[in-house]
Amino acid sequence: MTNQKEHSIFSLAVVVAALGYFVDIYDLLLFTIVREPSIVGLGIAKTDTAAMIAASTKIINWQMVGLLIGGILWGTLGDKKGRLSVLFGSIVLYSIANFVTGFVQTVDQYAYARFVAGLGLAGELGAGITLVSELLPKNKRGVGTSLVAGIGLFGAVFAYFTFQYTQDWRLCYKIGGGLGIGLLLLRVSVAESGMFKELKQTKVSRGNVLMFFNDATRFRKYMLAILIGLPTWYVIGVLVNLSNRFANEFYGASKIDSGRAIMFAYAAIATGDILIGLISQYFKSRKKALYLFYGFTIIGLVLFFSPINNSDVAMYAICAWLGFSTGFWAIFVTMGAEQFGTNLRATAATTIPNMVRGALPLINLMFLNLFQKNWGWGLTKSGITTGVIVMAITLVAAYFTQETFHKDLNYIEGEEMLP
C-alpha cells in the first residue's frame, strides 16, 4: 500500500470529527443531566428514591445496549462501505431519535427512544477516530485523536448549560436533533480515508466481526482493548451519575445536582483527554500515559469514599478530579484503532468503546442487583466493591496490552480473502 498524504492536526477532517463527537457527547450525556427532571416529568415522584433509581437505570441501560448493538453494526459498515458512510448514516438515526425523545410520555417510551438513539450514537466516535488515525502521520495521530475527544467532550458542558438556560428537557433533546442535522451538512466536504480507498481495490475480507474470534491473538488483543476502558463508565455511570444519592448517604442532606456534577466531570475529562495526548507524545508511549491516569483514577476513588468527601463543594471537586482522571478515553480508543489492520480498524474502533459503554448495564447489575438487592449491602459498600473489581480487571488488562505508539497502520489484518 502506498504512502498517504500527510494531514495537519487542524485539518478539516479533524475539526469535523471533533464537532461530530461534540454533538455525540451532547446527546449521549443529556439523559444523565436531565435525568431527575425528565423522570419526574413522566409522573414519578422525586421522593420515591427506589422508583427514580429503577427508572433511571432502565433508561440508561437501554441506551447502552443500543450503543453495544450499534457499535457492531456501524463498525462492520465502516470497514465494508467506508468511514464516511457511518458518519452520515449514524447521525441521521440519532438526530431522528432525539426529536422523538422530546415527545415521550412514559418510561418505556423514553427507554425505547434512547435505545434507538444509542444505535445511532454508536457510530460517531469509532468512525471519526479511525478516519483521523488513518489520515494523520503516526507521530501526530495521538495528539489529533486527543483533540477530537477533548473538544468533543465539551458537548456535555454545552448540554448542561443548554438545560440550565431552557429548563425544558424536551426542548434540549430537540436541540440535539437540530445540531445533528447541522453537522450532517458540514460533513459533505470531508474526504474519505486514502487507506480505505486503497483497501477497496483489494479482495481482502473487510468488516468481518468473526475475525476477532477465529484467531487467538486477535481475540486476546480485542478483549484487552475493551477491558482497559472499563473505569470510565463506572466513574460516570455510577459515581457521578448518582453523586446526589451518595452525598445524602455520606453527609446527610445535600444540594448536589447530578447534572452539574456531570458537567464538572466532563469539563475535566475533556482537559484530561487533550493533556494525555501530549503526555503520550512526551513518553512516546500510550501505556505509560494510561498508567499515569489509572493512578489518578485510584486516587479519585479513594477521595470519593473517604471522610474528605463531606460537603457539596468537596463532592463537586472530587467528581471533577474523577473526570480528569478518566480522561484516558482518547488514548484508549486510539489504541483500539491501532491494534488492528485497515480491513478491521473501523470495526475495532467502533465496537471497542461501545462494548465499554455496553458494559455499564453489567456494572449496574453487579452494583444494584447483586450487591444491594440480593446481598443487602448499602450504597457505599456496593460502590467500593464494584470499583475495586473494575480497577483490578483493568490494571491486569493494561499490563498485557500491546504498546502501539510507533505502530504503522498501513497494513492488512489476516490472510482471509473473499472468493
What confidence tens digit (pLDDT) does each residue in 309-348 have?
A: 999 999 999 999 999 999 998 789 889 888 888 788 878 8
The reply to whether 7 falls in a domain is no
| Percentage of the chain lying above the pLDDT 70 cut | 91
Beta carbons of 356 and 226 less than 8 angstroms apart: yes
The reply to whether 99 falls in a domain is yes
Range 110-116 average pLDDT: 95
> Which H, E and C letters describe the chain, residue by residue?
CCCCCCCCCCCHHHHHHHHHHHHHHHHHHHHHHHHHHHHHHCCCCCCCHHHHHHHHHHHHHHHHHHHHHHHHHHHHHHHHCCHHHHHHHHHHHHHHHHHHHCCCCCHHHHHHHHHHHHHHHCCHHHHHHHHHHHHCCCCCHHHHHHHHHHHHHCHHHHHHHHHHHHCCHHHHHHHHHHHHHHHHHHHHHCCCCHHHHHHHCCCECCCCHHHHCCCHHHHHHHHHHHHCCHHHHHHHHHHHCCHHHHHHHHHCCCCCCHHHHHHHHHHHHHHHHHHHHHHHHHHCCHHHHHHHHHHHHHHHHHHHCCCCCCCHHHHHHHHHHHHHHCCCHHHHHHHHHHCCCCCCHHHHHHHHHHHHHHCHHHHHHHHHHHHHHHCCCCHHHHHHHHHHHHHHHHHHHHHHCCCCCCCCCCCCCCCCECC
Find, among 244, 257, 232, 196, the residue nearest to 326 by Cα.
Answer: 232
Most confident of 92-96, 342-346, 372-376: 92-96
The reply to whether 219 falls in a domain is yes
Total domains in the chain come to 1
What's the pLDDT score for residue 45?
Answer: 87
Range 374-384 average pLDDT: 88
For the stretch 119-159, pLDDT in tens is: 998 887 777 777 787 777 777 777 887 888 788 888 888 99
How far apart are alpha carbons 114 and 31 in whole angstroms?
9
Residue 133, amino acid:
S
When mean pLDDT is compared across 52-61, 137-146, 402-411, the lowest value belongs to 137-146
The reply to whether 371 falls in a domain is yes
Where in the sequence is the domain holding 252, given as residue range(s)? 12-400
pLDDT at 416 over 60: no
The reply to whether 283 falls in a domain is yes
CATH number, residue 170: 1.20.1250.20
Residue 269 backbone dihedrals phi, psi, to 5 degrees: -60, -45
Range 67-94 average pLDDT: 81
The reply to whether 81 falls in a domain is yes
Average pLDDT, the chain: 85
| Percentage of the chain lying above the pLDDT 90 cut | 37
The reply to whether 294 falls in a domain is yes
For the stretch 179-205, pLDDT in tens is: 988 887 776 666 555 555 565 566 666
pLDDT at 395 over 90: yes
The reply to whether 419 falls in a domain is no
